Amino acid sequence: MKKLFLIIYLFLFSLTGFTQNEKLAKLSPTQDQSMEARLVAGLLTQYHYKKTPIDDELSIIIFDEYLSSLDVNKHYFLKEDIEGFQKYRERLDDHIKLGYLLPPYEVFNVFRERFSDRMDFIENELSFDFDYNKEEFLTIDPDSLDYVTSEEELDDRWRKLIKSQALDFKLDDKADTTIERLIKERYSRLKQTIGEYESRDVFQLYMNTFAESFDPHSSYFSPITSENFKIRMSQSLEGIGATLTSDGSYTRVASVVPGGPAFESKMINTDDRILAVAQGENGEFVDITGWRLDDVVQKIRGPKGTTVRLKIIEAGTPISTGIPVEITIVRDKIKLDNQVPYAEVKEVYRDGNQYKIGIITIPSFYLNFEAMRAGEEDYGSTTRDVKAILDTIKSQVDGIVVDLRSNGGGSLQEAIELSGLFIEDGPIVQIRDSDGSIELGEDEDKNIYYDGLFTILTNRFSASASEIFSGAIQDYKRGVVIGENTFGKGTVQNLISLNQFVPKVEDTLGQVKLTLAKYYRVNGSSTQHRGVRPDIKMPSPYTAKTFGESSYERALEWDQIESSDFEPSNYIDEDVIAALNEKHEKRLKEEQYLRNFKNDVDEAINQQSLSKVSLNIETRKAENEKAMERRNAANELKDKISADPELINKINTDGEIKDPYLREGIVVLADLIAMGIG
Residue 464 is among the residues annotated as catalytic for this protein: yes
Instruction: State phi, psi for 220 to the nearest 5 degrees.
Output: -120, 135
Of 440, 433, 438, 393, the closest CA to residue 419 belongs to 440
- Please give the Cα distance from 356 to 364 (Å, whole number): 25
Half-sphere CA count of 611, side-chain side, radius 13 A: 5
| Beta bridge pairs of residue 500 | none
Cα distances (angstroms) measured from residue 204 to each of 103, 223, 542, 545, 581: 15, 10, 31, 27, 49
Strand (E) positions, 372-489? 399-403, 426-433, 438-443, 454-458, 480-483
- Helix 151-171, helix 617-640: angle, nearest 10: 40
Catalytic residue of the set 246, 489, 564, 600: 489
Catalytic residue from among 14, 364, 464, 550: 464
Q: CA 420 to CA 442: how far, in whole Å? A: 8
489 is a catalytic site residue = yes
CB atoms within 10 A of CB 329: 22
> Roughly how many angstroms between the first and final C-alpha of the chain, as a whole number?
45
Residues with Cβ < 8 Å from 92, sequence gap 6 or more?
Answer: 59, 62, 63, 103, 104
- Choose, from 215, 475, 535, 671, the residue flagged as catalytic: 475
Instruction: Give Cα 495 distance to the centre of its chain.
Output: 20
548 burial (CB, 10 Å; 0-12 / 13-18 / 19+) is: buried
**626 contacts: CB under 8 Å, gap ≥ 6:** none
Taking CA atoms, 293 is separated from 144, 274, 286, 326, in Å, by 31, 11, 15, 20
Contact yes or no for 195/113 (Cβ under 8 A): no
Beta-bridge partner residues of 327: 310
Rounded to whole angstroms, how far apart are CA atoms 337 and 368? Answer: 12
- Is 104 in a helix, a strand, or coil? helix
Under a CB-based contact definition with an 8 Å cutoff, are residues 267 and 659 in contact?
no
Active site residue ranges: 464, 475, 489
